[in-house]
Structure 1
Amino acid sequence: MEHEIVFLDRESVGADVRKANFPHNYTEYQSTWTPEDIVERLKDATIAIINKVPMREEVLKQLPKLKLIAVAATGTDVVDKAYCKANGITVVNIRGYAFNTVPEHVIALMFALRRNLMAYVEDTRNGRWAEVDQFCFFDHPIRDIAGSTMGVIGYGAIGKAVASRAECLGMKILPYDVFPQDGLVDLETVLKESDVITLHCPLTPETANMIGAKELKMMKPTSILINTARGGLVDEAALADALKAGTIAGAGFDVLTKEPPKEGNILLDLKMPNFIVTPHVAWASREAMQILADQLIDNIDAFVAGNPQNVVE
């Protein structure tokens, strides 16, 4: 059998993608968004490669030849996994590739927010430094990382990698996860006692909006919230209100509920130096993307060889 491989959003992976190790035809598109285009481009495909292209039941039921969806990411919330399981479509994802890039992004956001770097850069550019009578100014609070407490919500591989770096900086770690492990604390403890909270959970019906107005009010007014996982984990309207009211000291986000935010987003309307948003690039170091691209083809090769790996249930 000669497989038909179609990559629907090639521009999402900035790395070399090698050829699969079996007879196949390969087609790639830089981006694909509409259901009509998805169906048309995958009508003869046996293997679909996607990153963020939504693969819902109404699309999947029109693709009888499809046998494998290879997700070029860890998160698989864009795929209707229940339909795939019921109809013999295997779903595989990428694991263990962002062990450096995401933790480094988290640490960068943490330092920027705890030291109010954005506020000082903005003020200096606007001439504030030239207005003062001494050698510096203290308009924004600066807080140490050493001796502070980090709460890690989602204590898997990435959460642990963030925690190990934070410990090297002299931070105390409060880990929380829905899966039992030694040393975990409850969510309320994380919210009430952390100076920095970082999210590393998958987006599921159970975790959607897990951080809302109630949870934000439980946090210290000097604490910051970092989300490099999924936008839907946080109630964005509640976060905007909390930042405006000073309920928390700041937030650093690499993700939004809808990406790209073609129709705008309440968080993007915030013109506040204590809120930093980056365009879902925490995962995207050059090194990490090449690891991802190599594992992507490894997953496809393993499936065709009859030994599927990284299967998502």
Structure 2
Amino acid sequence: MRTPRSLNRIVFLDAGTLDFGDLSLSPLRAFGGFRAYTATSASMTAQRIKFAEQVVVNKCILSRSHIESAERLKAIHVAATGVNNIDLQAARERGITVTNAAGYSTESVVQLTFSFLLAMAVNLVKYDSALKRGLWSRSRFFMWPGFPVREIFGKTLGIIGCGRIGRRVAETARAFGLSVLIAKIPGRSYPGEKGRVSLD
């Protein structure tokens, strides 16, 4: 039997964006009055959050009209780092708290950054394709030097934006023997911070 919408105090609008078979929502269910939707279209959002006190979203957009239509809303929880899908001004005017999952993906993003960097340095995708096409096995030598392979040691990495993720990328880059340049974002000041370079 479905819980009436008026009793859904906590609503997760797009749980399907996070559930790859290993997500447990039982901590949220323990509060009672919890309802999770796999996905929610923009046209369904207002109806689903109308009586909610707390809303959890990942990618769903909560516009001013959505926020104003949710009479009981006290908090919006974004299951991601960015909150650009929330009308923060509208939430502020209503006294609604907006939280995010700051820092949850830092190490994953750093890992992905270096996966891409190393793959590009050694032309991994091109070599994988060449191997599958038999170019390696048909070579006269015990090698197939079809594409350049570069060492990243001693090279320079430029980073634009140096928040939590950027700082960890810089730290990891230095461990690989890279020099690091961090760009100044136009319009921002960096008092007491040395080593930033112009984007120009």
TM-score by length of 2: 0.84
Question: Does 2:114 align with 1:115?
Answer: no
Cα distance in 1, alignment partners of residues 50 and 156 from structure 2: 52
Question: Does 2:28 align with 1:28?
Answer: no
Equivalent residue for 1:162? Answer: 169
Higher RCO, Cα 8 Å, sep 6+: 1
Equivalent residue for 1:182? Answer: 194
Alpha-carbon offset, residue 61 of structure 1: 2.6
Equivalent residue for 1:251? Answer: none
Alpha-carbon offset, residue 18 of structure 1: 4.6
Contact 1:3 1:47 in 2 (8 A): no
Equivalent residue for 1:124? Answer: 131
Contact 1:48 1:68 in 2 (8 A): yes
Contact 2:183 2:199 in 1 (8 A): yes
Superposed CA offset, 1:277-311 (max 9, x none): xxxxxxxxxxxxxxxxxxxxxxxxxxxxxxxxxxx
Cα distance in 2, alignment partners of residues 23 and 155 from structure 1: 37
Question: Does 2:75 align with 1:68?
Answer: yes
Alpha-carbon offset, residue 21 of structure 1: 10
Cα distance in 2, alignment partners of residues 163 and 134 from structure 1: 39
Code of the residue aligned with 2:45 in structure 1: it is I
Cα distance in 1, alignment partners of residues 69 and 181 from structure 2: 47
Aligned length: 186
Alpha-carbon offset, residue 59 of structure 1: 2.4
Contact 2:8 2:51 in 1 (8 A): no
Contact 1:3 1:23 in 2 (8 A): no
Q: How does 1:246-257 map to 2 (within 5 A)?
A: none
Contact 2:78 2:99 in 1 (8 A): yes
**SS at structure 2 position matched to 1:70:** strand
Superposed CA offset, 1:128-181 (max 9, x none): 123332222222121111111111111011111111111000000001243523
Contact 1:176 1:186 in 2 (8 A): yes
Alpha-carbon offset, residue 118 of structure 1: 0.2
Using a 3 Å threshold, how does the CA distance of structure 1 residues 86 and 61 change in structure 2: closer, same or farther?
Answer: same
Q: How does 1:223-242 map to 2 (within 5 A)?
A: none
Q: How does 1:94-105 map to 2 (within 5 A)?
A: 94-105=101-112
Cα distance in 1, alignment partners of residues 126 and 175 from structure 2: 26
Alpha-carbon offset, residue 24 of structure 1: 4.2
Q: Considering only aligned residues, what root-mean-square deviation do their CA atoms show, in Å?
A: 2.1
Contact 2:13 2:56 in 1 (8 A): yes
Equivalent residue for 1:10? Answer: 15
Question: Does 2:50 align with 1:38?
Answer: no
Question: Does 2:153 align with 1:141?
Answer: no
TM-score by length of 1: 0.55
Consecutive unaligned residues in structure 1, runs of 5 or more: 189-313
Question: Does 2:99 align with 1:89?
Answer: no
Alpha-carbon offset, residue 23 of structure 1: 5.3
Using a 3 Å threshold, how does the CA distance of structure 1 residues 86 and 177 change in structure 2: closer, same or farther?
Answer: farther
Alpha-carbon offset, residue 99 of structure 1: 2.9
